[in-house]
C-alpha cells in the first residue's frame, strides 16, 4: 500500500466531486440544503467546476489536494484549503457561476454560511490563517490514514508560517482533529425543521476548531475536579472554559452507555462552546470575573429557561417559556455555562426517582438501587456539572457545601414576582459562628429512638456514628421536642397539602387527561381527590402548619451565645431497590419521607451531607445525614456544614 499526496488536477474534478457527495451522504444538513435529486446533481456539477476553476485560474487563495492509492491508481481522499491570503469569505466564495445549485434551499445555504463565518470571526477575527473547508475519504478506504495525511499537510504549512489552522467539524469528526492537537474554541447549531425522528426538528451542530502553536504542553485538554474553587484555579493557570465543556460532553457521551435518560434536554455543544468563548468578551479583565465564570450548571426541568420547553416530567403539560426563571438568570449573569435540563419525578411528586416518563434512573453506586427524587437526574450529574438548580425552595445539588454556598450567594435575594418570596426584612441577619479551639459552637437534636425505628439497622448504626463525629467536633447533643416535626410530616401526604400539586394542572385537565400521567402519580392524585377534602379541611391543616412552625421557631434557633441549634436526621431511612419500589411505589415513598417531608411544611433550610458508605448484601452504598436549621438561617447552616462535612465524609 502506497499513499501519495498531490495537488489536484482538472482531470481529478469528477472523482473529487463524487467522493465529496458520497462522504457527506449521511450529513443531515446536506440533504436539508439539497433536498431533491436535481439539487444533488446540480451540486455535483458545482463541486466539479470548483476544482476545475481553482486549477485553471491558479487561484492563490485556494488549493485542492488528493491522496491516491498508487497500487490501484485511484483517488481515495481529498481536502480543500483556503490559504492565508483569505481573511473573510463572502459571496465571492461561490463555487462558480452555477452557484447556488438548482432546487437547493438558498435560505439554509445562506444561514449556514453566515453562522460559519461568524464563528470563524469570533475565534480569529480577521487574522490570517490556514482553513480546511472540506476533507473526505471513500468509505472503503477509511482508517488507512489518508485524511490524517491531508490534515498534516495543513498542520505542517501552518506551523512553518506560525499561523493557526482553522476548521469547522461535525461532532463525530472532531475526535480525529482533537487527536491531532486541535482545540474547540467556539461552535454553532442550526435547527432543521422536520428532519428529525418523527418529523421533529433536528439540531445540526458544528464545532469551530483551531490548532495554534503557542499552546503550552498539557493545556490542550482538561480532566480535573469540577468543584468550583479547583475549576477557577485551573482557569487562572490557562485552562479555557472550552476545554472544560469538551471534557463534560465527553463524560456525558460516555455515561449514556450506563444511563441514557439523565437529560430531558441537553444543550447543543456548539451553543455551549459559543457561550464559553463569549465569556472572554463579557469579562475581558480576569480580575473582574464573577463567581461562576466558566462554571457549568444544569437545572431540573421544573425551572424555566427561555425558549426551551419546561416539562416538569410531564410531556403532556410541556410549555415553552418566553422568559427565564430569576435563579437561572442569576447564574448566567454570574458567568455560568448552562448545560441542560435533567430528568425528574413527574410534577416533582415523589422521592424515588421511579416516576418519570423519560425513564427510571438508578444510583451511581448500584444499578439495582434507586437514585432518589424528585430531582433524580440531578443526582447523577456529578462529574458533569458542579451545581444543579432545583425547584421548591429553591435548592442546589452541588459537589461540596462550599460550591452550594457559592451558588446560593449568587441566587439569593428577594423576588417580588414570586408571591411566596419573603421580603428581606424577614430574613435572619447573618452572624458568623463562634469558634472555640477551632470548633464551631452548635447544638443539635436528633429524632427519638422510636422515630429512628423507621430506619434499617445499618442506617441506625451509620447515624449513630455520624452523631458521635458531631460530638467530637464540638456539637452539644440536646433533647428536642420531636412532635411538631412528626405532625408536620403527616400534613404533606396524609393531609390536604398534596392537593396543591393539582393547582399546577389547568382547570378540568385531570379528569380528561389523567391517563397521560405516570400511573403512580395518577393513583396519588386519585386517592387525594377521593378523600373529598373540604375548604375547612384545608384551613384546618393551614392552622396546624402555622402552629407547628411557631413551635419549631423556638427550637431551631441562633444566637451569639449558644450558636446555632439544628436538627440532625438521616437523609433517608433506608435505600430501596428499583424492584422494591415497583412493588409498593406509594408505601415506600411515604417511608422514604420519614425525615424529609416536614422540611418544606415547616419552611426549614437544610443541607444534605454525605457520610461515607456502607456495605449491604455485597453492594457498597452511600449514607448521609441532613442538617436542618430554622427559616432564614441559610448562611449559618452553610458555614456549619462546611466545618463538619470533611470529618463526616470518611465514615465507613
In CATH, what number is assigned to the domain containing residue 25? 3.40.630.30
The whole-number pLDDT of residue 386 equals: 60
Nearest to 65 by CA among 164, 132, 139, 140: 132
Residue 587 lies in a domain: yes
The whole-number pLDDT of residue 392 equals: 47
- Give the Cα-Cα-Cα angle 616, 620, 624 (nearest 5 degrees): 95
Hey, is 297 helix, strand or coil?
Answer: strand
Residue 161 structural domain = 1-179
Distance between the two ends of the chain, CA-based, in angstroms?
60
Nearest to 593 by CA among 346, 347, 351: 351
In total, how many domains does the chain have? 2
Residue 360 has pLDDT above 90, yes or no: yes
Once rounded to an integer, what is the mean pLDDT over residues 4-9?
Answer: 96
Residue 199 has pLDDT above 90, yes or no: no
The C-alpha torsion from 265 through 271 and 272 to 274, rounded to 10°, is: -170
Residue 8 lies in a domain: yes
In CATH, what number is assigned to the domain containing residue 589? 3.90.1300.10
- DSSP E strand stretches across 350-419: 387-389, 396-398
Final residue before a domain boundary, out of 179, 201, 219 = 179
Residue 111 lies in a domain: yes
Residues in the chain: 652
Q: Residue 410, exposed/middle/buried by CB under 10 A (0-12, 13-18, 19+)? A: buried
**HEC sequence for 243-294:** HHHHHHHHHHHHHCCCCCCCEEEECCHHHHHHHHHHHHHHCCCHHHCCCCCC
pLDDT in tens, 96-135: 577 889 999 999 999 999 999 999 999 999 999 999 999 9
The whole-number pLDDT of residue 393 equals: 45
Average pLDDT, the chain: 90
φ/ψ (deg, to 5) at 237: -90, 0
Higher pLDDT, 238 or 438: 238
The whole-number pLDDT of residue 376 equals: 76
The whole-number pLDDT of residue 87 equals: 41
Q: Please, what sign has the CA dihedral across residues 556, 558, 559, 563?
A: positive
Residue 282 lies in a domain: no
What share of residues in the chain are helix, strand, coil (percent, to 5)? 40, 20, 40
Cβ(645)–Cβ(610) under 8 Å?
yes
The C-alpha torsion from 279 through 284 and 286 to 287, rounded to 10°, is: -120
Hey, is 396 helix, strand or coil?
Answer: strand
Query: For cell 464563528, what's the residue?
Result: 119
Final residue before a domain boundary, out of 153, 179, 205 = 179
Query: For cell 418529523, what's the residue?
Result: 199
Q: How far is Cα 105 from Cα 111, in angstroms, rounded to an integer?
A: 10
Q: Residue 18, exposed/middle/buried by CB under 10 A (0-12, 13-18, 19+)? A: middle
The whole-number pLDDT of residue 223 equals: 83
- The CA–CA distances, whole Å, from 244 to 12, 31, 276, 403 equal 42, 33, 9, 17
Q: How far is Cα 186 from Cα 276, in angstroms, rounded to an integer?
A: 7
Cβ(366)–Cβ(621) under 8 Å?
yes
Q: Residue 230, exposed/middle/buried by CB under 10 A (0-12, 13-18, 19+)? A: middle
Q: How far is Cα 323 from Cα 208, in angstroms, rounded to an integer?
A: 29
What nine digits make up the cell of 142? 477509511
Cβ(491)–Cβ(544) under 8 Å?
yes
DSSP assignment of 170-237, as one string?
-TTTHHHHHHTT-EEEEEEEEEETT-SGGG--EEEEEEEEEE-SSPPTTTT------SHHHHHHHHHT
The whole-number pLDDT of residue 413 equals: 84
Q: How far is Cα 471 from Cα 600, in angstroms, rounded to an integer?
A: 27
Once rounded to an integer, what is the mean pLDDT over residues 197-209?
Answer: 88
The whole-number pLDDT of residue 225 equals: 84
Cβ(340)–Cβ(265) under 8 Å?
yes
List residues bridging with 191 in a β-sheet: 203
The whole-number pLDDT of residue 99 equals: 87
Residue 417 has pLDDT above 60, yes or no: yes
**pLDDT grade, residue 93 (50/70/90)?**
very low
Residue 372 lies in a domain: no
pLDDT in tens, 385-412: 665 665 444 566 777 889 999 999 999 8
Residue 598 lies in a domain: yes
Residue 610 lies in a domain: yes
Q: Count CB-CB contacts under 10 A for residue 453.
A: 11
pLDDT in tens, 541-563: 999 999 999 999 999 999 877 78
Final residue before a domain boundary, out of 121, 155, 179 = 179
Residue 608 lies in a domain: yes
Q: Count CB-CB contacts under 10 A for residue 132.
A: 24
Amino acid at each position: 500500500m502506497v499513499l501519495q499526496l498531490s495537488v489536484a488536477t482538472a482531470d481529478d474534478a469528477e472523482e473529487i466531486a463524487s467522493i465529496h457527495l458520497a462522504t457527506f451522504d449521511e450529513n443531515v444538513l446536506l440533504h436539508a440544503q439539497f433536498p431533491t435529486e436535481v439539487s444533488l446533481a446540480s451540486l455535483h456539477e458545482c463541486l466539479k467546476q470548483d476544482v476545475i476553476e481553482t486549477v485553471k485560474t491558479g487561484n492563490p487563495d485556494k488549493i485542492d489536494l488528493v491522496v491516491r492509492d498508487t497500487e490501484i491508481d485511484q483517488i481515495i481522499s481529498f481536502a480543500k484549503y483556503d490559504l492565508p491570503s483569505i481573511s473573510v469569505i463572502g459571496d465571492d466564495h461561490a463555487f462558480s457561476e452555477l452557484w447556488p445549485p438548482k432546487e437547493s434551499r438558498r435560505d439554509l445555504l445562506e444561514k449556514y454560511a453566515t453562522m460559519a463565518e461568524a464563528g470563524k470571526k469570533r475565534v480569529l477575527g480577521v487574522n490570517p490563517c490556514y482553513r480546511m473547508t472540506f476533507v473526505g475519504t471513500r468509505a472503503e478506504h477509511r482508517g488507512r490514514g489518508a485524511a490524517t495525511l491531508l490534515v498534516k499537510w495543513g498542520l505542517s504549512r501552518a506551523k512553518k508560517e506560525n499561523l493557526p489552522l482553522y476548521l469547522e467539524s461535525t461532532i463525530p469528526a472532531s475526535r480525529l482533529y482533537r487527536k491531532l492537537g486541535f482545540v474547540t474554541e467556539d461552535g454553532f447549531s442550526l435547527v432543521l425543521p422536520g428532519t428529525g425522528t418523527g418529523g421533529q426538528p433536528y439540531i445540526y451542530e458544528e464545532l469551530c476548531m483551531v490548532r495554534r502553536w503557542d499552546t503550552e504542553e498539557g493545556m490542550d485538554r482538561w480532566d480535573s475536579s469540577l468543584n468550583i474553587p479547583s475549576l477557577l484555579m485551573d482557569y487562572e493557570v490557562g485552562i479555557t472554559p472550552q476545554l472544560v465543556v469538551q471534557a463534560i460532553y465527553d463524560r456525558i457521551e460516555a455515561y449514556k452507555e450506563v444511563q441514557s435518560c439523565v437529560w430531558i434536554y441537553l444543550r447543543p455543544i456548539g451553543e455551549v462552546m459559543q457561550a464559553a468563548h463569549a465569556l472572554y468578551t463579557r469579562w475581558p479583565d480576569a480580575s473582574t470575573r464573577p463567581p461562576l465564570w466558566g462554571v457549568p450548571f444544569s437545572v431540573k426541568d421544573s425551572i424555566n429557561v427561555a425558549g426551551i420547553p419546561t416539562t416538569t416530567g410531564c410531556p403532556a403539560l410541556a410549555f415553552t417559556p418566553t422568559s427565564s426563571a430569576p435563579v437561572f438568570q442569576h447564574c448566567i449573569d454570574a458567568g455560568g455555562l448552562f448545560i441542560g435540563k435533567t430528568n425528574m419525578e413527574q410534577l416533582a411528586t415523589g422521592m424515588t426517582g421511579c416516576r418519570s416518563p423519560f425513564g427510571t434512573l438508578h444510583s451511581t453506586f448500584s444499578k439495582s438501587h434507586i437514585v432518589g427524587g424528585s430531582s433524580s437526574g440531578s443526582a447523577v450529574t456529578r462529574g458533569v456539572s458542579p451545581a444543579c438548580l432545583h425547584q421548591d425552595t429553591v435548592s442546589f445539588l452541588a459537589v461540596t457545601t462550599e460550591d452550594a454556598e457559592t451558588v446560593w450567594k449568587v441566587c439569593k435575594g428577594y423576588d417580588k414576582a414570586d408571591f411566596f418570596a419573603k421580603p428581606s426584612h424577614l430574613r435572619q441577619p447573618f452572624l458568623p459562628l463562634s469558634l472555640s479551639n477551632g470548633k464551631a459552637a452548635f447544638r443539635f437534636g436528633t429524632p427519638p429512638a422510636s422515630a429512628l425505628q423507621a430506619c434499617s439497622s445499618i442506617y441506625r448504626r451509620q447515624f449513630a456514628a455520624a452523631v458521635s463525629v458531631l460530638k467530637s467536633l464540638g456539637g452539644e447533643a440536646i433533647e428536642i421536642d420531636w412532635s411538631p416535626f412528626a405532625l408536620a410530616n403527616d400534613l404533606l401526604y396524609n393531609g390536604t397539602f398534596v392537593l396543591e400539586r393539582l393547582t399546577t394542572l389547568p382547570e378540568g385537565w385531570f379528569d380528561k387527561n389523567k391517563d397521560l400521567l405516570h400511573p403512580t402519580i395518577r393513583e396519588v392524585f386519585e386517592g387525594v381527590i377521593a378523600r373529598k377534602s373540604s375548604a375547612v379541611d384545608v384551613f384546618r391543616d393551614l392552622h396546624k402548619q402555622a402552629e407547628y412552625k411557631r413551635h419549631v421557631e423556638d427550637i431551631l434557633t441562633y444566637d451569639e451565645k449558644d450558636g446555632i441549634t439544628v436538627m440532625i436526621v438521616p437523609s433517608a431511612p433506608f435505600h430501596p431497590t428499583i424492584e422494591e419500589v415497583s412493588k409498593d411505589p406509594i408505601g415506600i415513598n411515604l417511608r422514604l419521607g420519614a425525615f424529609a417531608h416536614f422540611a418544606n411544611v415547616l419552611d426549614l433550610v437544610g443541607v444534605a451531607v454525605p457520610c461515607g458508605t456502607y456495605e449491604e448484601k455485597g453492594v457498597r452504598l452511600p449514607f448521609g445525614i441532613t442538617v436542618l436549621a430554622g427559616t432564614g438561617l441559610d448562611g449559618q447552616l452553610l458555614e456549619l456544614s462546611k466545618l463538619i462535612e470533611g470529618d463526616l465524609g470518611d465514615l465507613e
